[in-house]
Amino acid sequence: MSAMKIAMVGAGAVGGTLGFLLDEAGFDVTLIDVDQAKIAKIRDEGLTVIMPDGDSRTRNVKVTTDPKDVGPVDLVQISVKGYHTTSAAELSRPLVRPGTYVLSLQNGLKNLARIAAVLPDAIAVGGVTAHSAMPLGPNVIKYNGGLGGISIGRFDGRDDPGLQRVVDAFNATGIATNVICGDVRIPIWRKLLANVSCNAVAALTGFTGRQLVEFPPTNELIRALAEETAEVASAQGFDFAELEYAGDFAIKALTGVGDNKISMLQDVEAGRRTEIETLNLAVVERGEAYGVNTPLNWMVGILVQALEQKMLFEREAAQSPPVDQSPPEDTPPTVTTSSSATDNPTVDQGVSR
């Protein structure tokens, strides 16, 4: 059987790293991204990934901005922020034929439903991973590694022996990968407990993982957010062990981050939009649907949105032309006299009126 043909839609940190590793393992991989400058840089200089042990590797991977250059593939991985999922799925249409797997390892809710709605001929596959990476430049990525590996399963819950090819491909990269038995939404919600509890708090405080854990008020807030989110999961009928100790689970997951910065904080520091809509605000939406109050998720969600709006205001101000405050050329010069200011009623004393 020939090696799988794979397209990574989104050549960011995670998509670039996994695409790099799959290419290195011998698969036919193409990275696709709408950022023309990034694609040009990778095409000209190669893609460099700095491994968790510090080893730097560079490969000349295939890249394009146009999926039509690639054609139908066996596996598409959507590797973009949640707010771009629909547009990334639409971009992927030329890559899909009946039976193509379309994989999402993205954070948050709504991604699989959006993929399935746009690409009905594809097989939507969801999954989770704790592996992370961060961009150091357009064509340079620092791969942090992570605890565990990758777990994937069909969105519709069906057993599918063909999915083993996808599992084998990722196993060939050295990342242990397995098929999820049962409802793929359960591991997604399990990861969501940690994401909604930690990401927004990191973005709002600027704290690293270690600082979030060690500062008692943020530690307490993270636990409370996890417990509130667990109530929403339980109301939907989900039942998994971590719901009973959601706060401890979130802190344990955060401990693994150490001195690294969580992705939402990286987004804020880079002036990028965050995934708050598919994280905390998605929990608020589900809470409303199932009769669970979620004041903490609502609060941090609104605060992150306000932070995004502040960045937008600052960008708009920076792009606006400076206001010319010099007087028009036909304005007569100011005439000064020997009269004191108090004798001249037209002089502004700086007193509010």
Active site residues: 191
- Looking at residue 59, its amino acid is R
CB atoms < 10 A from the CB of 306, how many?
11
Q: What gap in Å lies between CA 89 and CA 181, rounded to an integer? A: 25
Exposure string (b/e) for 308-336, b if CB count within 10 Å is 16 or more? beebeeeeeeeeeeeeeeeeeeeeeeeee
Length of the chain: 353
- At 62, the amino acid letter reads K
SS3 222: helix
Kind of pairing, strands 132-137 and 140-145? antiparallel
Query: Residue 265 and residue 64: Cα distance in Å, rounded?
Result: 29
Please check whether residue 58 is in contact with residue 47, taking contact to mean a CB–CB distance below 8 angstroms.
yes
Alpha helices in the chain (DSSP H): 13-24, 36-45, 85-91, 111-118, 163-171, 185-205, 209-214, 216-235, 246-255, 263-269, 280-290, 295-319
> How many CB atoms within 10 Å of residue 121?
11
- Any idea which residue has 């050549």 for tokens? 11
- AA identity, residue 303: L
Distances (CA, A) of 147 to 103, 252, 298: 20, 11, 30
Residue type, 328: P
Q: Looking up tokens 């059987």, which residue turns up? A: 1
